[in-house]
Amino acid sequence: MAGDYTRRTYEDGEMIFEDGDRAGEAYLINSGNVRIFKMDGREINEIDLIGPGDIFGEMGVISDMNRMASAVAVGRTELNCCQRRELKRRVDALDEDMRDALRFLIVYCQEFLPFELMPNRPKNPETVKRDTIAYHLVKSSKKPGELDRLDVFLRGLYRVLVGYTERRLPPGFDPEA
């Protein structure tokens, strides 16, 4: 399954997607670079410059949202593309533990997507339980070899979701302390 993603090549300056576009797929950079940016009137505000091995466009796909920024190729850029339906099929095909972990991280990130929610998060037993599960998934993802059973795209997605999850956990949260 690792090699059958759709491959696309973009030339320098070619637009991959624009802010507000419908999000139908996520991307893994094989070669080249991608500039992620937002337009503020006539001014370009660069958000990030990413390169080989990086994944982008994933939140629009897993959250069924429109694009929140634009992406343009910097130099000749080759991407692996994964449509929402293909991503779901690949997640469904995982073993139960990994499938449940990935699904949990997706839902957790969706629910706490706006950073503004963090100070206002409910401190009820259900939220603490979910934060505890998220904490342990983040911790276990750092063990050597833990993500080796995933193909390159899902491994990258898992790492991105772990990064989002770390930022969404309450500051200093440690259920083991």
**Mean of pLDDT values over 137-166:** 89
Domain residue extents for the chain: 6-84, 94-168
Does the pLDDT value for residue 1 go beyond 50?
no
pTM over 0.85: no
Mean pLDDT is lowest, of 76-90, 127-141, 142-156, for 142-156
DSSP 8-state class, residue 158 = H
Q: Are 63 and 96 in contact (CB under 8 A)?
A: no
Give me the chain's average pLDDT, please.
88
Q: What does the pLDDT look like over 79-118, one tens digit per residue?
A: 999 998 888 899 999 999 999 999 999 888 887 765 545 5
For domain 6-84, the CATH architecture is Sandwich (2.60)
Alpha-carbon distance of 13 to 162, in angstroms, equals: 31
